[in-house]
A and B are shown apart, each in its own frame.
Chain A
Amino acid sequence: MRKSVVWEERLVKGFLWFSVLATLGTLIIILGHIFQHGLSLISLEFLLDSPRKMGREGGIFPSIIGTLYLIAVALIIAAPVGIFAAIYLTEYTRKGRIVRAIRYSVETLAGIPSIVFGLFGFAFFVIFLGFSWSILSGGLTLAAMVLPTIIRTSEEAIKSVPTIYREGSLALGATKWQTIYKIVLPSALPGIVTGIILSIGRAVGETAAVLLSAGSSLNLPTSVMDPARSLAVHLFILTSEGISFKMGYATATVLIIMILIINLAANFIMRRMSTTRAI
């Protein structure tokens, strides 16, 4: 082999290894830095206490509750709508002008920047519908944001159910909906659940849209009409306004641990799905 070819091969492989190590290295540096400063600050007291002095002291309990509340509202709306939409797109029609318009809308929704969702949430839910800065406004805005994720993953999951399952059910005299409800959805469930878990991840990390629609109140929310400050918004305000980097590290650590758990759960379900499907 010519020498230049050998050298090019070595050079390229070197670069490929370098890109991979740089990517992993970046991740490790970020996680390492935040954990190094934040892990020791996490305690039960930090998780269950209310913030004092704008968040300089105390804990993050109201933000944890606010985040959970926002996720709940978003999923109560987006999960059924998204799953129904996916069923319609896969089981009922696959072609036609309306379907194309729906697909284009889903693509568009997936690409819209979160700050634009925030503007929309503010103009529509907060002002026009009069929900003011509240968990309801924030949750509905988040529902619009995660809708494309739920539709796409559910569609993939439903599509991967073998046609023979449907044919068997129909042959036994089941109606179309009975087949979907009793055969297709149970088989597609792990994929659908994975999509929902990924949506939770997105909702946990979202900041801009939540800030504009749910507000940034530090009080413990007691109903969906109360404003709330999610964990991500709390981290943003703590650090960008220079209130407390220490509390920022602790909050960032909690956020990363939540994302780690969410990713692990999604992977676990995905792996179980692929093993059961193989049988």
Chain B
Amino acid sequence: MARKYEGTIEKILQLSALAAILVVFLISLFILIEGYPVIAKYGLGHFLLGGQWYPLDGLFGIMPMIIGSFIVTFGALLLGVPFGIGCAIFLAEFAPMWMTKVLRPGIELLAGIPSVVYGFFGLVVLVPLIMDTFGGRGFSVLAASVVLAIMILPTVINISEDAIRAVPREYKEGSFALGATHWQTVKMVILPTAQSGIVASIVLGMGRAIGETMAVIMVAGNVTAIPGSFLDPVRTLTANIALEMGYAAGDHMSALFATGIVLFVIIMFLNFLITLVPKRVIDQ
């Protein structure tokens, strides 16, 4: 009888669901095990606050990379978020039907293009363009920020648009009935109501920018010094790991895993921030 197997099947399903927890646990465990030795040996202060990264001389300071990651991400948000929110407002409120039909597959494609392809495009188009326009070598904070800005657009657009669409019709109708124009309604009623979702989209975009590796490596120049201007080269945390994993050993490899721990903690913190954003203000 089929009934006999019901219990077994439920157990199998439950185990599959628990796999998600197991994977997160294993990832945390193995990165900690591999990264901890170098932190224990040299101290957390040396590692996090040190300004010098010379693995062969036992200097493992990742401060320049932490700053690099945040500068590049900040630049990406500065360039990408206004356009992203603009597109989201347009799609949810103003877009004519034909425009939505063009725009939506376009955004899906933008989200699907592999990061190496963005990096390659940055390398062959953006870097020479920056070199010709502003001087320098082109491999720079600016190049990395522009590439990342393009890459976070789909995240910001999709989540902001959902948030704007979730605003109840009555709010909009009420505002129209009071004689407000469409934009006044968007500005005074819709955007404030959708605020928490829009903030969440920015935080998620930030997570994507901090975590991006290949596209950044190809255009950022990867010098381990704190950049003085947006035309200076920069190395991010992710780039630090990917560039040196190929040949690292011993303390050096452990330091790369420790870089991974820092990255992991930053992402967990961002995830935690998103849980603080109230899910739906409207329900209250």
Contact = CB atoms under 8 A, between A and B. Distances in A.
Interface in B172-186: 181-184
Interface of A: 1, 5, 8-9, 12-13, 15-20, 22-24, 26-27, 29-31, 33-34, 80-82, 84-85, 87-89, 92, 98, 101-102, 105-109, 111-120, 122-124, 128, 144, 147-148, 151, 175-178, 201, 204-208, 211-212, 232, 235-236, 239-240, 245, 248, 252, 255-256, 259-260, 262-263, 267
Contacts of A12: 183
Nearest to A240: B218
Interface string B12-26: 111011111101101
Given A102-B21, A148-B20, A207-B114, A239 B123 contact: yes
Interface string B241-262: 1100100000000001100100
A14 B112 CA distance: 28
Contacts of B182: 9
B264 A109 contact: no
B113 A176 contact: no
A80 B107 CA distance: 29
B2 A175 contact: yes
A200 to B, nearest CB: 10
B210 A113 contact: yes
A116 B211 CA distance: 9
Nearest to A143: B23
The interface size bin for chain B is: 35 or more
12 contacts: A16-B86, A30-B118, A31-B109, A89-B17, A105-B20, A115-B211, A118-B245, A119-B31, A120-B31, A205-B112, A245-B124, A267-B105
B56 interface: no
Contact of A116 (B17, B19, B116, B260): B260
Most buried by B among A24, A30, A248: A30
Contact of B267 (A89, A112, A204, A259): A112
Interface in B74-123: 82-84, 86-87, 89-91, 94-95, 99, 102-103, 105-110, 112-121, 123
A211 to B, nearest CB: 7
Given A80-B16, A259-B114, A116 B263 contact: yes
Interface stretch (B3-11, B130-138, B162-170, B276-284): B3-11
B125 A33 contact: yes
B117 A256 contact: yes
Given A19-B87, A105-B20, A117-B27, A111 B267 contact: yes
B150 interface: yes
Nearest to B274: A107
A101 B25 CA distance: 11
Interface in B15-62: 16-21, 23-24, 26-27, 30-31, 33-34
Given A19-B87, A112-B264, A116-B264, A201 B21 contact: no
Contacts of A80: 16
A122 B181 CA distance: 57
A177 B218 contact: no
B214 interface: yes
